[in-house]
Amino acid sequence: MSSDLKIYFAGSMRGGRNDIDIYYKIIENLKQYGQVLTEFVGDKTVDCEVAPVLDEISIHDRDVSMLEKCNCVIAEVTQPSLGVGYEIGRAVAMKKPVFCLYRPQQGKLLSAMIRGADNGSTFKVTDYNDVSEVPELLKDYLHLLNSL
């Protein structure tokens, strides 16, 4: 796997930060495969409740620019987020490979727009129960990505 890989990690920011510890662990694991352009998503010091450093237009433009530069998108989609859905949609429109990680929870279903987009290669959704499973899932997906 090339260390030149540029990875866009997507996780909920304003939609809820309940999974920040999971995001951090995923990002730390992804760093062995390349550069994580959106490392701030797993940063506990980023507080979306206080006045943002950037205005909305700047955030949008920065993130779209990073999507354009990335080789793939890895998204943790357990916490519903309009922003993550938007990022995934933009990535698909840019023909970027997308890998979504989802932790099934009683009484909650992943959006059919995400689950139904899974084609087994350029757009893949994988369920997991514990973050300890994620390193192997990432390894398998990034190996698949290398073969596309």
Residue 58 annotated in ligand binding: no
Nearest residue to 41 via CA among 62, 57, 55, 68: 62
Q: What is the dihedral of CA 132, 35, 45, 56, to 10 degrees?
A: -120
Residue 112 annotated in ligand binding: yes
Residue 111 annotated in ligand binding: yes
**Crossing angle for the helix pair 20-30 and 134-147, to the nearest 10 degrees:** 50
* CA distances from residue 34 to 22, 38, 71, 76, 128 in whole angstroms, order as listed: 19, 12, 10, 18, 23
Residue 113 annotated in ligand binding: yes
CB atoms near residue 20 (< 10 Å): 18
- Distance CA(70)–CA(6), nearest Å, equals 5
Residue 23 annotated in ligand binding: yes
CA 22, distance to chain mean position in Å, is 11
Q: Which residues are part of a known binding site for substrate? A: 23, 87, 111-113
Q: Which residues are part of a known binding site? A: 23, 87, 111-113
